[in-house]
Amino acid sequence: MDQSSPSSSSTTAATTPLLHHQQPWWRRRFQMKNSLSDELSGAVGDLGTFIPIVLTLTLVSHLDLSTTLIFTAFYNIITGLLFQIPMPVQPMKSIAAVAVSETPHLTTSQIATAGASTAAVLLLLGVTGLMSTLYRLLPLPVVRGVQLSQGLSFAFSAIKYIRYNQDFIASKSTTPRAWLGLDGLVLALSSLLFLVIFTGSGDYNDRNESDDDDQPRRRNSKRLRIMGSIPAALIVFLLGLVLCFIRDPSIFGDLKFGPSKIGFLSITWNDWKVGFLKGAVPQIPLSVLNSVIAVCKLSGDLFPDRAELSAAKVSASVGAMNLVGCWFGAMPVCHGAGGLAGQYRFGARSGWSVVFLGIGKLVIGLVFGNSFVRILNQFPIGILGVLLLFAGIELAMASRDMSSKEESFVMLVCAAVSLTGSSAALGFVCGILLFLLLKLRKMECSGLGFSKFKFESAVDAETSSIP
């Protein structure tokens, strides 16, 4: 017994730490991967695209803001807990662009049918597994080209937001922005400088601080860690909210409490026809590429220690969200690689960031309802441009892993066509064709020249061996 006690004690010592550190499955699944301040800061990372589109649809197409906020709040909460990453919920951009550019503008019912039609296609692709097959077959350089074009498109729009006043109803830039004022260039540039100083290039959180052996490097690492703990994006966003009331104090009197009444839309056959042909047809390829394919690939890049998202599940998620909300007049939404990049850029590392965002939307939708549009209408556009700029650059930087000149060539052609033609689908098709052409060129060259090359090499070798 005495001889066995050391063995048993050592076994206990070896197993006790494992038992002590083992956490319940629910705690491992739902724990925050970053500090609370960073998750909150990351939550506002995609609002640079969300706010302008929602505001435009509300003013032009009479979108029910309260209903949209409430439904997108539930989308945020559910997808955050389901996917365990900062999965964004963003407007379907092509449908929004068509809704405000068409004459006459698309009605709320036509916008809803466009979203529902797109959702039905994505849900079908997801549940049948066709989306997963497509995801496996797509060449990486083409996906990177789509991401690069989308990121640069966001960045270009962000620069316009910063430099010029915006008429969202007409979807165009107007006069150059004044230097001074509550939405001036000084404010936008100061916000930009503040974010650069406190977030850097976005990689300070991923440093391996144990490698810093010398004292100066440890001090510098500690300083960066302290600066990184400040929720810079959240501070900038809250500053914008405060400035809304300073710019127009009459907002206080216009706010009305309580949500709008939620009910089913009245939809006609003509609404289905117009919504599908004008809204869904251009939106479907964009949703497949940017809302599913690019999101899954980007999630693998940003979170290499976690299992890559299933393209089928992401596609089914987009379909389910809209097949529920669009019938009630909620804005058609999708997941977007730009939103994921923006939230990650400002500190979001888990699904809790979008859960917090969803809670905020839910509170606003229930308390202020449609009157919240008065606040959004006064939000400094320059600050939105700054947030959008960081999101776009983060998304574009995902394309930096191309390892050969051929891959970079395909990626850049795909991006260039997408940007010039303002169509991700067109750039995608050109990228696929170019990729196949380059592969075919290699096959032809090897097939025609292999035997000759081998023969000549053998003759050369034999000749060289003769004295």
Q: pLDDT tens across 402-431, in order?
A: 989 999 999 999 999 999 866 788 899 999
Predicted confidence (pLDDT) at residue 119 exceeds the cutoff of 70: yes
Average the pLDDT over each of 37-41, 92-96, 98-102, 461-465 and give the range with the smallest value. 461-465
CA dihedral 155, 161, 167, 173 (to 10 degrees): -80
Average the pLDDT over each of 100-104, 180-184, 230-234, 434-438 and give the range with the smallest value. 100-104
Structure tokens at 60: 């032009």
- The pLDDT score that the predictor gives to residue 458 is 36
Radius of gyration of the chain (CA): 26
Name the β-bridge partners of 91.
Answer: 333
Higher pLDDT, 209 or 38: 38
**Predicted structure pTM score:** 0.85
Mean pLDDT of 296-322: 94
Name the β-bridge partners of 334.
Answer: 90
| pLDDT bucket at 293, cuts 50 / 70 / 90 | very high
Phi and psi of 166, rounded to 5°? -120, 140
Q: What's the chain's average pLDDT? A: 86
Please answer whether residues 126 and 295 qualify as being in contact, where contact means their C-beta atoms are separated by less than 8 angstroms: no
Predicted confidence (pLDDT) at residue 351 exceeds the cutoff of 70: yes
Amino acid (one-letter) located at 212: D
Mean pLDDT of 425-442: 92
Predicted confidence (pLDDT) at residue 344 exceeds the cutoff of 80: yes
Phi and psi of 71, rounded to 5°? -70, -45
Tokens 């068509």 belong to which residue? 98
User: Distance (Å, rounded) from C-alpha 253 to C-alpha 374?
Assistant: 10
Percentage of the chain surpassing pLDDT 70? Answer: 85
User: Distance (Å, rounded) from C-alpha 276 to C-alpha 95?
Assistant: 10
In Å, what is the CA distance from 461 to each residue of 260, 455, 457, 458?
A: 85, 10, 6, 5
H-run or E-run covering 464? helix 424-465
3-state secondary structure of 406: helix
3-state secondary structure of 268: coil
For residue 335, the tally of other CB atoms under 10 A from its CB is 27
Helix 108-127 / helix 311-325 crossing angle, nearest 10 deg: 150
Please answer whether residues 185 and 433 qualify as being in contact, where contact means their C-beta atoms are separated by less than 8 angstroms: no
In Å, what is the CA distance from 443 to each residue of 141, 261, 263, 429, 437?
A: 19, 63, 60, 21, 10
pLDDT digits (tens, 9 = 90+) for 144-175: 999 999 999 999 999 999 999 999 888 889 99
Mean pLDDT of 57-78: 95
